[in-house]
Amino acid sequence: MNFPRKPVKKQPRVERTLTCVLDRRGVGGEAEYLIVQRPSTGLLAMMWEFPSLPLEERDFSESKQKEAVLAQVQSVLGGPGSLGALQHIGEVLHIFTHIHQTYVVYRCSLSDPTGVELREGEAPTTRWVTKAVFQQAAVSTAMKKVLKLYESKESHEEECRKSWKRKRDSGSKDRKRKPQKIKVEQETSTGKKQLSLHNFFQRPMKQAIDNGLGGLRAKLSRRGLSEVGFLIVNEKEPQARAMYWELKRRAPKGVPVYQQDPLQQDVWETLGGEKDDFLIYDRCGKLTFHIPLPYSFLHRPYIEAAVLATYHKDICGNCSMASVCWWFFFSKVIELLDTVFFLLRKKNNQITFLHVYHHATMIFNWWAGVKYVAGGQSFFIGMLNSFVHIVMYLYYGLAALGPRMQRYLWWKRYLTILQLLQFFGIAAHTSYNLFTDCAFPDGFNLVVFLYIVSLILLFSSFYHQTYISRKTKQT
């Protein structure tokens, strides 16, 4: 049969762009950002953006990227200016209808704005704007994401500066206090051990490492959540990779550190997040919460509340489906006892090819279904099959009561008809999903469809031989 086919989707174009967020302090001390107007033709025509230029080579080194960004900024400013250090702060992925655009974001500050004249006329229009003006200007969503990344980096660094200042002030106060004598670990008259010099320094360090999770694990443990796993994802830049072993050494006990390979696609880009974000996944591996800066600090109440919500609620809605599918798979294992009973009763004539094929393949098919695609699509098949088996085993139960029940079992042939109707229903359901936009893999759909077709052929042959050919011979 010539079924309609899905139209082949054109693969989106992948592009990378260098972008620089250049800031300065305005007249009132408020931060201002330099934006440039795009040309009057092409994508996002006449819209405003941070100074940007296309990144042609994917293997550009960071030093060459900085040189290109610096040249672009100086070209816009009309001269070198008093630019601060150029810093890479991350990447932003923005998906247009036909383009996957990745913005490689740098930031830089203009320390002395005097003497800087922006290029006007034939060159793209440029201007300095505050955040409020920027939000109201004709800027793309991608540029708003870039500004959000910049602000999250600023917020994170400000939080780190405050934390460092608190520790510095606390340390200076401690130094003013009278130093205490540290005793070497030894047995005392009370039988208790005193703290040794080694343990004196080791325990505060261990405490600091445990506090790296902000006491989150302790809070969750007090609430009975002991099966929550954590993973640290390190960046793929050379500086981050150089600090991998130090990060692994300082990571809390039981928390693995994943190091990205330089040649692989960036994990955070794939996940649609940034390196300081906190992502929470449920038991099914589905994302339930994506908490960005400045809310991703582990001592914040948002983190604990999100973990609790994910742990206690079936957010994805698929975990219960997976559990039901597993129990249905287990019922197929129990049904193998049919063959055992046939052998014990020496009913070898009932162990036909149809019987062996049906039971053996169902075990394998549902093992694969539960392992890889447990969910709504598989649930429908299991639900339909369970209903048919309820009726079928009701018949077997009544037949086991003896000859006195035979006159009530005139509907045996309709069991086979019911099974065939079940197979036709599953075939229609599966074939429909082959030509619609469904998350269920087409490969599994095709396998199920072909398997159901084989069962339709075998059960139709059984029905014809048992109820039509035999009746014709008797007449």
Catalytic residues: 358
C-alpha closest to that of 20 among 112, 116, 126, 98: 126
Identify the H or E element spanning 257: strand 257-259
What's 368-400 look like in SS3? HHHHHCCCHHHHHHHHHHHHHHHHHHHHHHHHC
What torsion do the CA atoms of 187, 190, 195, 197 make, to the nearest 10 degrees? -40
Q: What is the DSSP string of 172-241?
A: HHHHHSPPPPPPPP-B-TTSPBPPPHHHHHHHHHHHHHHGGGTTHHHHHHHTT-------EEE--SHHHH
Residue 243's alpha-carbon distances to 121, 239, 257, 445, in angstroms, are 47, 7, 11, 46
Q: Are 293 and 155 in contact (CB under 8 A)?
A: yes
Angle at which helices 376-399 and 319-334 cross, to 10°: 30
Instruction: Write down the residue that tokens 């070497």 correspond to.
Output: 184
Identify the H or E element spanning 360: helix 353-372
Q: Which residues lie closer than 8 Å to 1 by C-beta, 6 or more apart?
A: none
CA separation for the pair 317, 306 (Å, rounded): 17
